[in-house]
Chains A and B, each alone.
Chain A
């Protein structure tokens, strides 16, 4: 039996029907159709399904959709302003931090949340903040470099390109 709920995703309200036990990741992907949020394990181990809820990186595979009513949900599709990429997205491109791209949306959102709190994180702070986002392709090095670079882009110390 489905219930009706209103979710605010990327600044837009969606009137949806979902079962009370439905997880946010499935509602975002299947019902709303925003497939940028990835599902790598379904049980909160890999971080690929990370979205921002009221600005905090959250595992959408462990979060009930119903629990998100009245909150601001940002998925990877909502991070950029149209074609204008977020500095973290630019930095991931510039630093070669993207390989298969499956962990990338969650990784980018975790990094964006970190930099909103602290745009000059140390390498150790980056590693701690993003340790919940697994990546098997890159060996993480270029991701750390990208997050540092993004911090510089945000604080105006570096330019994209």
Chain B
């Protein structure tokens, strides 16, 4: 591969938001204040499943300082992020489906008055049976959580995919291993609670400031629920204090703030408490999955059979999409010809599960990477050898028709194992110390939109002006990951200008052209492509003007280091800004647009649209652990990550994505679990009781990249924000197996579970361990 020379791409620039953030100047939604602004608070059910017989708000309405009270019957329009299957209401309508569901809302002059008013609202419920597990919800005779659900047994959706001949492949296999795995109910636990501020202007147009990953989906939902034309709604994304998927669909507080603002005729802010963040949830689906893998004598995978039951919680959310992503993400990054997937998502009376970093991939990777590790050990192979043999090559098409146009996963396996000394250490460390390997991958955006429109997924407008400078307008949303920086760097590289001089305007439905939002690790590839195309279109306008000035052909010119210059004749050059000035003198404003639509691929089976991506990122991780045999505590000592994210646009930001992913996965593997009581009440909805990793838990993280460049991506880049979380959990579980010889199949690995397992092991081995 030819060495690529860039001035900006691959360098570490100072993010423009960083100086503001270290001074506390970056503005989040809760930092906004408007004259006459009211505070909205939400009354939440203290029952998990019931019919609402009546709501009396008269006392609340009479409380001085209360300006509006809202109940579900005033907003009876159902919505959902999957528009074909709406299941939710802004405020519970006729029925409550989880403990803590909104049943009324109040806007008052201050939060204390609003909260006092909530206590004055009287709701009469008719209780229904509460189902906190899929087993209960699927049991015969169970009451339907959604009465219009067409499936029996509270099944929200089912999936059933078959590729190849699984039965024959198992019959022909040398070795088959089957285990049942259980994943936990975890929350994103971003630091900034949801907050939205809505304001109607005198012309009746709605302005909403919110901490969202998906301003355009919010735009559509507001239009539907408020029954307003979209062009009368303006969504403005404020600072987003972490999201990880949890702000990737519309949140009740957004709709409620707008509805209350309309009713009260004054701006309304609705800020969640931390408990409410846990109730809004949309965290990772707990899945119970039985997974079976067969291999031949050489350790080549012959077949995979998966049967999984997802606990979806009370509403639809992204559930349908995640169900099919789980199918799509079952077997890559390995080459498998025979695959069977049976799964179902079940409604239960709990806060709704949804999109969380690496959705669709994390649970099946946990099962698959654990099974492959065990199979290799059972066959007397090093797990690295088995994984390397089965790893896909540079290009691949899966049995389900997903086209991987670029993959350096084998390099990831090599680099992670070499840097960590995995092959030398595995199976040879003293009892209590262990090392584990796992691989993973993720999409860089999706091939389809949820509403199946032909509108490009990303679009950008660039304006180059002698007075205003270069401004990139793009609907992409910077949720802290640094996408504004990436887009600015790409434009700077294209124009041959310093990054610092590029302005990026994003996350605003009125100012910036359409983009789907920040999810599915799509922004760098999709919005990046749109920005690059727009920049190319600007350059195409400038080069003929420069060519006339220089007396050369336009095709021989490039924009580099502040100049437009001849590629062939050194010295034939003119300053970029002189050309812009001459262009504007002659033609008027200099603007151009660019857009991006991913390749559309599908197949002839249910769910075939899902899983296709323009390109995929890969990674391998080796994790070293120390298990305290006295206390049962698992400590992660070191993680070595080798990632194939294509060309890192901003390497420090990519490292930040990887390091954040590792710590988030570590939390799910070892500590985190939302606990639910029998009555559906959350037992630990606080950052004290729901334990995310602190700095004291930080192991040594060695984040590396493999040499990689996807020639069909903007500047060779692929995703980096969700792939690196895929191997984290199984690498820890595999390391724990290496340390104490116990194959955990349920997360998190708490000290209690370790001690119990060690006792059990001791009993089985007759006290010899």
Q: Is residue B242 contacting chain A, with contact meaning CB distance below 8 A?
A: yes
Q: Please, which residues of chain B bring their CB within 8 A of the CB of A135?
A: 191, 695
Quick one: which of A80, A98, A100 contacts B191, CB cutoff 8 A?
Answer: A100
Whether A45 lies near B274 (C-beta < 8 A) is: yes
Whether B242 lies near A89 (C-beta < 8 A) is: no
Identity of the chain A residue whose Cβ is nearest the Cβ of B271 in the assembled complex: A39
**Per-residue interface assignment for chain A, residues 21 to 41, with 1 indicating a CB less than 8 Å from any chain B CB and 0 otherwise:** 000000001100111111111
Q: Is residue A127 contacting chain B, with contact meaning CB distance below 8 A?
A: yes
Whether B274 lies near A42 (C-beta < 8 A) is: yes
Whether B23 lies near A102 (C-beta < 8 A) is: no
Of A40, A93, A139, the most chain B CB neighbours within 10 A belong to A139
> Main SS of the interface on chain A?
loop
Q: Is residue A7 contacting chain B, with contact meaning CB distance below 8 A?
A: no
Q: Is residue B453 contacting chain A, with contact meaning CB distance below 8 A?
A: no
Of A42, A100, A105, A130, the most chain B CB neighbours within 10 A belong to A100
Q: State A103–B658 Cα separation when bound (angstroms).
A: 18
Q: State A48–B658 Cα separation when bound (angstroms).
A: 23
Give, as a whole number of angstroms, the nearest-CB distance from A111 to chain B: 11
Q: Is residue A66 contacting chain B, with contact meaning CB distance below 8 A?
A: no
Q: Please, which residues of chain B bring their CB within 8 A of the CB of A115?
A: none
Whether B240 lies near A100 (C-beta < 8 A) is: yes
Q: Is residue B176 contacting chain A, with contact meaning CB distance below 8 A?
A: no
Q: Is residue A118 contacting chain B, with contact meaning CB distance below 8 A?
A: no
**Per-residue interface assignment for chain B, residues 11 to 26, with 1 indicating a CB less than 8 Å from any chain A CB and 0 otherwise:** 0101101111111111
Q: Is residue A126 contacting chain B, with contact meaning CB distance below 8 A?
A: yes
Q: Is residue B295 contacting chain A, with contact meaning CB distance below 8 A?
A: no
Q: Please, which residues of chain A bring their CB within 8 A of the CB of B239?
A: 100-102
Q: State A39–B12 Cα separation when bound (angstroms).
A: 31
Within 8 A of A (CB), among B675-714: 686-688, 692-696, 698, 701, 703
Quick one: which of B190, B479, B687 contacts A45, CB cutoff 8 A?
Answer: B687
Q: Is residue A85 contacting chain B, with contact meaning CB distance below 8 A?
A: yes
Q: Is residue B661 contacting chain A, with contact meaning CB distance below 8 A?
A: yes
Within 8 A of B (CB), among A1-54: 29-30, 33-46, 48
Whether A134 lies near B694 (C-beta < 8 A) is: yes
Please report the number of residue pairs spanning A and B whose Cβ atoms sit closer than 8 angstroms: 181
**Per-residue interface assignment for chain B, residues 113 to 141, with 1 indicating a CB less than 8 Å from any chain A CB and 0 otherwise:** 00000000000000000000000000000
Interface segment, one of B27-35, B313-321, B347-355? B27-35
**Per-residue interface assignment for chain A, residues 83 to 104, with 1 indicating a CB less than 8 Å from any chain B CB and 0 otherwise:** 0010011001101101111111
Give, as a whole number of angstroms, the nearest-CB distance from B715 to chain A: 19
- Supposing A41-B686, A136-B242, A142-B656 touch, asked if A100 and B479 sit within 8 A by C-beta, the answer is yes
Q: State A85–B14 Cα separation when bound (angstroms).
A: 15
Q: State A107–B351 Cα separation when bound (angstroms).
A: 31
Q: State A24–B740 Cα separation when bound (angstroms).
A: 49
Q: Is residue A58 contacting chain B, with contact meaning CB distance below 8 A?
A: no
Whether A93 lies near B695 (C-beta < 8 A) is: no
Whether B22 lies near A85 (C-beta < 8 A) is: yes
Q: State A86–B45 Cα separation when bound (angstroms).
A: 47
- Supposing A89-B22, A102-B28 touch, asked if A137 and B695 sit within 8 A by C-beta, the answer is no
Q: Is residue B748 contacting chain A, with contact meaning CB distance below 8 A?
A: no
Q: Please, which residues of chain B bring their CB within 8 A of the CB of A59?
A: none
Identity of the chain B residue whose Cβ is nearest the Cβ of A110 in the assembled complex: B695
Q: State A85–B239 Cα separation when bound (angstroms).
A: 21
Name B's A-contacting residues (CB within 8 A).
Answer: 12, 14-15, 17-28, 30-31, 33, 188-193, 239-244, 273-274, 479-482, 652-653, 655-656, 658-664, 686-688, 692-696, 698, 701, 703
User: Would you list 13 pairs from A and B whose C-beta atoms are within 8 A, ordered by A residue?
Assistant: A33-B33, A40-B687, A41-B274, A45-B688, A93-B15, A96-B653, A98-B22, A99-B481, A101-B20, A131-B694, A134-B687, A136-B242, A138-B656
Name A's B-contacting residues (CB within 8 A).
Answer: 29-30, 33-46, 48, 75-77, 79-80, 85, 88-89, 92-93, 95-96, 98-105, 108, 126-128, 130-144
Q: A46-B687, A96-B652, A99-B656 are in contact. List 19 more A-B contacts (CB 8 A).
A: A33-B33, A38-B24, A77-B23, A85-B22, A85-B23, A93-B14, A99-B480, A99-B660, A100-B242, A101-B239, A103-B191, A135-B191, A136-B244, A137-B242, A137-B481, A139-B663, A139-B698, A140-B698, A141-B655
